[in-house]
Structure 1
Amino acid sequence: MTVGQRQQLEVVERDGRLVTSVEHTLIQLSRMAPLGTALVATDAALRDLPYVGCEPLTTLERLCTAHEALRPYRGSGRVQAVLSRATSLADGPLESASRLVIEELGFAAPVLQRGLWLPVSGQDVYLDFYWEEERIAGEADGYGKYLGPGGPGVAASTVIAEKQREDELREQVAGVLRWDWQDMWRRQPLERKLLRAGIPRPRRSSRLL
């Protein structure tokens, strides 16, 4: 695809610099980068979570419009593969990559950011992943929130709060699965957890990430 063949290249100014638009940049990335890399970047640009007060950089509608305006072009199939999976509900790279691994392992797709009310603690919580019929919650967490600034006291408070949250959560769901970056990259640990929890597996495995 040659820039300018079908539409003029959109250039915007950010922090005093001229750059290509978010939509054009993500389309070019998706044409060339691995699916996982492109999906993480696209999800980040779309991120619009109910518990985070940040504005998304673009919308899926705008991305699809830009994509359609350029078609046909080389690599458009790779871009479509990203757009068909992209979401505004991924709270970080681990969640984006985990969705791909869950898909490539053949498991049923979960609901994202399922909200629940915890009456004892009086708070709304949002589950990273939730399988409605099985009532299984999935939480994809790195260790950053436990190792951040503030020292051992803050880390201990974070662990305690997370434990109390999970104890109350287990009263409303049938099970809670947790996995980290290593489980996701190695795949088999995540696969075993999903199988033990009884998550349906309607498709054959395929390599995506």
Structure 2
Amino acid sequence: MPAAPTLPADVRATLLDGRGLIRAADFEGTSGSRSRLHRLERAGLLTGLAKGVYADTATLRSAGEWSAFRLRTRAFLMVAAPDSYASDWSSIVLHDLPTRGRPPTVPNVIRPGSRVSGSNTTRWGRTRFAAVPDRWLGQVDGCPAVDPAFAAVDVARQADRLTGLVLADAVAFRHRGRDRLAQAAVDVERWRGGRRARWPVQHCDADVESPLESAGRLAFLDAGLPGSLSNVWVGDIVPEARLDHYWPAFRIAAEGDGVGKYLLTDPAAAIRREKEREWLLQQWGIRVVRYTWAVATRSPDELTGRIRALMRVAPDTSCALRLWPRDEGLALLGLPSGRPRPRPVAAA
């Protein structure tokens, strides 16, 4: 059986240099030509992602939907007008913020310098025309993109509350607060659905580390539970255990991922460590409620009902406990904060 055809070595090298993309206009030369790329596309070895921009078909097929969407966004930006910036979900994926569901059909860019209003959609991408203050325009990994805070509130205008909260929490975590989100929310307030972006900005938490924790927090907020602390450390003398959500007055904790958080290369050691942690929490009188994504999003009443039931029972406060905020506890233990360093949004 004959071997399946593969891409020529020079094309593979050019794709590698282009981080998975090759532009026909840049392939002209002694060993390359646009016609060769067209022939490879007809043979199914390359796939067009924008006019004159290609990716390896095999790589594209094996990539996840959002990874493919990232490639499509970069390809569209290569041929878009010079004043185009990746926006909404295209900016979200370029900034490595959490994604949910399936990506849009085509990439999205915004042209803030145009006096035209509305949008234009082609097979390769969608271009919106809107007035965006210069402070939100910059680059990420060499691609023009709006700031993640602006992208998050832009998406929140039309997204469900969980999506809005997940993105707002992620941006607040990265920037150690909601200030940039609040500024961006003001700038989109007059856009269609702009007021919807207020809610996630008002309720985001800079210490939330994952979409699962955001889902848990949404359940708590919707149920009207007292406010919880996120990822605080507890201990009698030094920080010893970190809790996803904690209500100090009730000595109740909610954990969104259980033992998975502690899995190391040795599962048996991880299980022992989790059991020791559980015993320690019990000694301190901390009652733990665990939940999954399915419970938080599909059966939130089950989760909040269990917490309410525990709140009706007086806690055991015989053991004195201290609390440390997330970053302070990590610093005392000599551990890194784990927060992604905000990427500079340098003027494009």
* Same fold, judged at TM 0.5 (above): yes
Distance of aligned partners of 1:142 and 1:34 in 2 relative to their CA distance in 1, 3 Å threshold: farther
Which contiguous aligned blocks of 4+ residues in structure 1 show a shift greater than 6 angstroms? none
Matches of 1:28 and 1:172, distance apart in 2:
44
* Contact 1:22–1:57 (CA under 8 A) maintained in structure 2: no
* Contact 1:110–1:129 (CA under 8 A) maintained in structure 2: yes
- Matching residue of 1:194: 307
Answering whether residue 207 of structure 2 is matched by residue 89 of structure 1, we say yes
Matches of 1:18 and 1:59, distance apart in 2:
24
Q: In the TM superposition, what whole-angstrom CA distance separates every residue of 1:5-40 from its partner, at most 9, and x where no partner exists?
A: x73473211112111111221121111111101211
Provide the secondary structure at the position in 2 that maps to 1:84: helix
Answering whether residue 227 of structure 2 is matched by residue 101 of structure 1, we say no
1:2-21 aligned within 5 A: 3-4=130-131, 7-8=133-134, 10-21=136-147
Q: Which runs of 5+ in 2 are unaligned?
A: 1-116, 118-128, 314-348
Answering whether residue 182 of structure 2 is matched by residue 64 of structure 1, we say yes
Of 176, 181, 191, the residue aligned with 2:288 is 176
Distance of aligned partners of 1:166 and 1:118 in 2 relative to their CA distance in 1, 3 Å threshold: farther
* Contact 2:231–2:244 (CA under 8 A) maintained in structure 1: yes
Answering whether residue 245 of structure 2 is matched by residue 129 of structure 1, we say yes
- Matching residue of 1:206: none
User: What code does the residue aligned with 1:17 have?
Assistant: C
Distance of aligned partners of 1:89 and 1:58 in 2 relative to their CA distance in 1, 3 Å threshold: closer
Distance of aligned partners of 1:198 and 1:158 in 2 relative to their CA distance in 1, 3 Å threshold: same
Q: What TM-score comes out, normalization by structure 2 length?
A: 0.48
- Matching residue of 1:166: 278
* Contact 1:145–1:158 (CA under 8 A) maintained in structure 2: no
Aligned-residue CA RMSD in angstroms? 2.7
Provide the secondary structure at the position in 2 that maps to 1:32: coil
Shift of 1:109: 2.1
* Contact 2:166–2:214 (CA under 8 A) maintained in structure 1: yes
Q: In the TM superposition, what whole-angstrom CA distance separates every residue of 1:37-78 from its partner, at most 9, and x where no partner exists?
A: 12112211222xxxxxxxx25741112122224443322221
Distance of aligned partners of 1:22 and 1:89 in 2 relative to their CA distance in 1, 3 Å threshold: same
Which has the higher mean CA deviation after the structures are superposed, 61-70 or 11-20?
A: 61-70
* Contact 1:107–1:199 (CA under 8 A) maintained in structure 2: no
Matches of 1:168 and 1:76, distance apart in 2:
46
**More RCO (CA 8 Å, sep 6+):** 1
Provide the secondary structure at the position in 1 that maps to 2:203: coil
User: What code does the residue aligned with 1:115 have?
Assistant: W
Distance of aligned partners of 1:38 and 1:59 in 2 relative to their CA distance in 1, 3 Å threshold: same
Distance of aligned partners of 1:190 and 1:72 in 2 relative to their CA distance in 1, 3 Å threshold: same
Matches of 1:96 and 1:71, distance apart in 2:
23
Matches of 1:194 and 1:12, distance apart in 2:
44
Which has the higher mean CA deviation after the structures are superposed, 101-110 or 16-25?
A: 101-110
* Contact 2:157–2:197 (CA under 8 A) maintained in structure 1: yes
* Contact 2:259–2:274 (CA under 8 A) maintained in structure 1: no
- Matching residue of 2:23: none
Matches of 1:71 and 1:187, distance apart in 2:
30
* Contact 1:22–1:58 (CA under 8 A) maintained in structure 2: no
Structure 1 or 2, whichever has the larger Rg, is: 2
User: What code does the residue aligned with 1:180 have?
Assistant: T
* Contact 2:168–2:181 (CA under 8 A) maintained in structure 1: no
Shift of 1:183: 2.3
- Matching residue of 2:110: none
* Contact 2:169–2:206 (CA under 8 A) maintained in structure 1: yes
* Contact 1:112–1:128 (CA under 8 A) maintained in structure 2: yes
Matches of 2:189 and 2:303, distance apart in 1:
37
Q: What TM-score comes out, normalization by structure 1 length?
A: 0.76
